């Protein structure tokens, strides 16, 4: 990025300093994706980034560009095509890292370089082997270098909560003087408590030189189950940016959950008077479901805000109260976060317009081509089911993954099983290049047999790590969602598929993984190169 580009980027404006707005810094694609089991491909990250932009996040941390070629290309793809949020990349206070972020976010209309350096005594002694002064000098140099590429630079003091308050204030004062626009106070290991973090933010805002000219940010982890509470406490003490993830995904126990912070600010406006976010809350449910589909990690039924039980009432006392007045047992409406109240929706005689309306109500706005694709799948499903539920329709909407759409397709499947005997399965697959491959296998059960048959047909060996089946709706004809995690050539890959036949769902899920492998093999030679460490 040239210095001219840096000036142009700076003209896009620095973070808002208004006291009535809390900026939502989403790190689902960086900190969230780093957690085991939540890795995403470039196409999946791009799809998720578009959903986050539609949700209304202010800053979208798209990745750690210097970490790998894949990370670099993903961040650059997001910076090129996603508009709305400020696109951010993470860097250590090192020249190579900062240059990688600058090149990756260059296409963005609004960019940010986010640099970090550990400040706590533990990290200084055992990880960095740096003195206090060396940490300050390195942090300042990093900020100054980043400002040469981008006018919006955030500095994070890793393990800030376990850093001596006076030294943390000294570091922040120095980076603000160097030009940092946001200073972040991470609770890197989820150690703090709400009272403690509120006191720390209040103290820092009173003792950091230049505090009035920057945005103070909180980044809380959930190791003690207090990430959201700590984030809200920081807001109450003056933080005007919170770093969070959809569904609270992230390293170890996770990050603060975006949906919980947003709705807490809205529902408890009496405690956070006048504070707003730019989040379109009615899109929370759809965004959370999309992430779950992409990662293959289901949302806990009792998850606050977006879990299946979040607005369910089974107790007779609760049901009686709800019939009298919704406010007796609900502090927010299901519709506020994108749930639809009625569950039974469409059937085989329903038309394209009705499907579009229901998808829109569920938070899925599809273009004409995507709607055509979903409508065809809906009609096929409606012929197999008496009643099509919201969960069925949503599965069709979020299951459209370009990396899983081919080249392999299932054209025939037959499976049998017997008590006290092996099961058998035969499959016929077609390939976009015209190949037709038939294979058969035996296994411990029909699912195992079909997985073995598909593996033989596509020519890949899969070591299955996890396999789950869950019903998406009600009744004996409910769709089952199969989720499979495998190890292939040292990489963890996941696939998901739905069908009223769970064996077919399993076959399509493993086929989805095979298709991902082929797409990656084709794309890899043309991907941009970044410096790796």
Q: Of 379, 398, 417, which residue constitutes the final position of a domain?
A: 398
Q: Is 528 inside any structural domain?
A: no
- Tens-digit pLDDT profile for residues 295-312: 878 888 899 998 877 776
Q: Which of 213-222, 339-348, 523-532 has the highest mean pLDDT?
A: 213-222
Distance CA 114, CA 217 (A): 12
Q: Which of 36-40, 150-154, 363-367, 459-463 has the highest mean pLDDT?
A: 150-154
Domain, as residue range, for 506: 405-523
Q: Is 138 inside any structural domain?
A: yes
Residue 403 confidence (pLDDT): 61
Q: Is 216 inside any structural domain?
A: yes
In this structure, are 343 and 383 located in the same domain? yes
Q: Which residue has the higher pLDDT, 418 or 144?
A: 144
Q: Which residue has the higher pLDDT, 274 or 83?
A: 83
For residues 393-414, b (16+ Cβ closer than 10 Å) or e, as one string? bbbbbbbebebbeebbebeebe
Q: Of 381, 398, 415, which residue constitutes the final position of a domain?
A: 398
| Whether the predicted pLDDT of 39 surpasses 90 | no
Residue 533 near residue 94 (C-beta atoms within 8 A)? no
| Whether the predicted pLDDT of 530 surpasses 90 | no
Q: Is 410 inside any structural domain?
A: yes
Residue 461 confidence (pLDDT): 86
| Whether the predicted pLDDT of 20 surpasses 60 | yes
79: nearest Cα among 149, 18, 140, 23: 149
Q: Is 105 inside any structural domain?
A: yes
Q: Is 300 inside any structural domain?
A: no
Is 31 known to sit in a ligand binding site? yes
In this structure, are 459 and 356 located in the same domain? no
- Tens-digit pLDDT profile for residues 355-414: 888 787 777 788 888 888 888 888 887 787 666 777 777 777 776 666 667 788 899 999
Q: Which of 28-32, 66-70, 390-394, 416-420 has the lowest mean pLDDT?
A: 390-394
CATH number at residue 509: 3.30.160.270
Long-range (24+ apart) CB contacts under 8 A made by 361-369 are: 362/285, 362/286, 362/338, 362/390, 362/393, 362/394, 362/397, 363/282, 363/283, 363/285, 363/286, 363/287, 363/338, 364/286, 364/394, 364/397, 364/398, 365/54, 366/397
Q: Which residue has the higher pLDDT, 70 or 528?
A: 70
Q: Of 351, 367, 398, which residue constitutes the final position of a domain?
A: 398
Residue 312 confidence (pLDDT): 64
Supply angle C-alpha 173, 177, 182, rounded to 5: 75
Q: Which helix (H) or strand (E) holds 507?
A: helix 502-523
In this structure, are 320 and 235 located in the same domain? no
Quick one: average pLDDT of 122-150? 97
Quick one: average pLDDT of 270-280? 93
In this structure, are 198 and 81 located in the same domain? yes
In this structure, are 117 and 248 located in the same domain? yes
| Whether the predicted pLDDT of 123 surpasses 90 | yes
Q: Which residue has the higher pLDDT, 241 or 483?
A: 241
CATH number at residue 356: 1.10.238
| Whether the predicted pLDDT of 19 surpasses 90 | no
pLDDT band at 232 (very low <50, low <70, confident <90, very high): very high
- Chain position carrying tokens 């006191």: 199
Percent residues over pLDDT 90 in the chain:
55
55 vs 26, 51, 137, 349, 428, CA distance in Å? 11, 6, 38, 33, 41
| Whether the predicted pLDDT of 5 surpasses 50 | no
Q: Is 309 inside any structural domain?
A: no
Residue 326 confidence (pLDDT): 56
In this structure, are 430 and 382 located in the same domain? no
Quick one: average pLDDT of 50-54? 97
| Whether the predicted pLDDT of 323 surpasses 70 | no
Indicate if the alpha-carbon torsion angle 160, 164, 169, 172 is positive or negative: negative
Q: Is 163 inside any structural domain?
A: yes
Kindly report the pTM of this predicted structure.
0.80
pLDDT band at 416 (very low <50, low <70, confident <90, very high): very high
In this structure, are 383 and 456 located in the same domain? no
Residue 261 near residue 218 (C-beta atoms within 8 A)? no
Mean pLDDT score of the chain = 86
Residue 340 confidence (pLDDT): 67
In this structure, are 168 and 101 located in the same domain? yes
Domain count, the chain: 3
Is 114 known to sit in a ligand binding site? no
Is 223 known to sit in a ligand binding site? no
Long-range (24+ apart) CB contacts under 8 A made by 483-490 are: 483/296, 483/298, 483/509, 484/296, 484/451, 484/509, 484/510, 484/513, 485/37, 485/296, 486/462, 486/510, 486/513, 487/462, 487/463, 488/460, 488/461, 488/462, 488/463, 488/513, 488/517
| Whether the predicted pLDDT of 92 surpasses 60 | yes
Q: Which of 5-19, 200-214, 349-363 has the lowest mean pLDDT?
A: 5-19
Quick one: average pLDDT of 135-159? 98
Percent residues over pLDDT 70 in the chain:
87
Q: Which of 72-86, 165-179, 219-233, 477-491 has the lowest mean pLDDT?
A: 477-491
pLDDT band at 525 (very low <50, low <70, confident <90, very high): very low
pLDDT band at 164 (very low <50, low <70, confident <90, very high): very high
In this structure, are 102 and 246 located in the same domain? yes
In this structure, are 228 and 359 located in the same domain? no
| Whether the predicted pLDDT of 179 surpasses 90 | yes
| Whether the predicted pLDDT of 458 surpasses 50 | yes
Q: Which residue has the higher pLDDT, 203 or 523?
A: 203
pLDDT band at 183 (very low <50, low <70, confident <90, very high): very high
Q: Which of 252-261, 284-293, 345-354, 501-510 has the lowest mean pLDDT?
A: 345-354
Is 448 known to sit in a ligand binding site? no
Residue 17 confidence (pLDDT): 58
Quick one: average pLDDT of 121-135? 96
CATH number at residue 288: 3.20.20.70
In this structure, are 390 and 410 located in the same domain? no
Q: How far apart are the first and last CA of the chain?
A: 21
Distance CA 483, CA 506 (A): 8
Residue 221 confidence (pLDDT): 98
In this structure, are 114 and 214 located in the same domain? yes
């Amino acid at each position: 990025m040239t210095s001219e580009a840096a000036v142009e980027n700076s003209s896009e404006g620095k973070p808002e300093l208004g006291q009535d707005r809390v900026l939502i810094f989403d790190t689902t694609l960086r900190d969230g994706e780093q957690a085991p089991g939540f890795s995403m491909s470039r196409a999946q990250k791009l799809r998720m980034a578009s959903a986050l932009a539609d949700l209304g996040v202010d800053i979208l941390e798209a990745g750690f560009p210097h970490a790998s070629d894949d990370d670099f290309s993903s961040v650059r793809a997001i910076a090129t095509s996603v508009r709305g949020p400020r696109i951010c990349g993470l860097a250590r206070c090192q020249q190579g890292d900062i240059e990688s972020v600058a090149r990756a976010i260059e296409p963005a209309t609004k960019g940010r370089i986010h640099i970090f350096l550990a400040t706590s005594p533990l990290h200084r002694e055992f990880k960095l082997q740096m003195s206090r002064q060396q940490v300050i000098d390195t942090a300042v140099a990093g900020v100054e270098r980043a400002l040469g590429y981008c006018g919006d630079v955030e500095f994070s003091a890793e393990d800030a909560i376990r850093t001596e308050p006076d030294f943390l204030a000294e570091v922040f004062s120095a980076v603000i003087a160097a030009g940092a626009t946001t200073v972040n106070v991470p609770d890197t290991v989820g150690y703090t408590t709400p009272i403690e973090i509120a006191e720390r933010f209040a103290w820092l805002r009173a003792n950091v030189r230049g505090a009035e000219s920057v945005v103070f940010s909180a980044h809380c982890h959930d190791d003690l189950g207090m990430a959201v509470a700590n984030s809200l406490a920081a807001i109450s003490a003056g933080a005007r940016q919170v770093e969070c993830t959809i569904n609270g995904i992230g390293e170890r126990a996770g990050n603060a959950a975006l949906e919980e912070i947003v709705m807490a600010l809205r529902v408890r406006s009496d405690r956070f008077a006048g504070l707003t976010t730019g989040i379109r809350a009615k899109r929370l449910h759809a965004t959370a479901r999309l992430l779950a589909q992409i990662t293959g990690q289901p949302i806990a039924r009792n998850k606050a805000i977006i879990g299946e039980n979040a607005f369910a009432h089974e107790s007779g006392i609760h049901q009686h109260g709800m019939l009298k007045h919704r406010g007796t047992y609900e502090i927010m409406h299901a519709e506020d976060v994108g749930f639809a109240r009625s569950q039974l929706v469409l059937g085989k005689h329903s038309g394209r317009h009705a499907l579009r309306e229901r998808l829109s109500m569920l938070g899925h706005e599809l273009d004409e081509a995507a709607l055509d694709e979903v409508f065809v799948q809906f009609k096929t499903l409606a012929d197999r089911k008496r009643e099509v539920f919201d969960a069925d329709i949503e599965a069709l909407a979020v299951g459209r993954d370009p990396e899983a759409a081919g080249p392999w397709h299932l054209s025939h499947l037959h499976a049998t099983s017997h008590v006290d005997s092996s099961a058998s399965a035969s499959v016929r697959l077609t390939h976009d290049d015209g190949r037709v491959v038939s294979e058969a296998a035996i296994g411990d059960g029909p699912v195992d047999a079909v997985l073995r048959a598909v593996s033989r047909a596509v020519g890949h060996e899969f070591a299955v790590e996890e396999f789950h089946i869950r019903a998406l709706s009600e009744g004996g004809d409910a769709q089952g969602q199969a989720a499979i995690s495998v190890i292939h050539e040292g990489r963890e890959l996941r696939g998901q598929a739905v069908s009223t036949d769970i064996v077919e769902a399993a076959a399509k899920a493993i086929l989805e993984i095979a298709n991902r492998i082929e797409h990656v093999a084709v794309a890899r030679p043309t991907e941009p190169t970044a410096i790796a460490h």
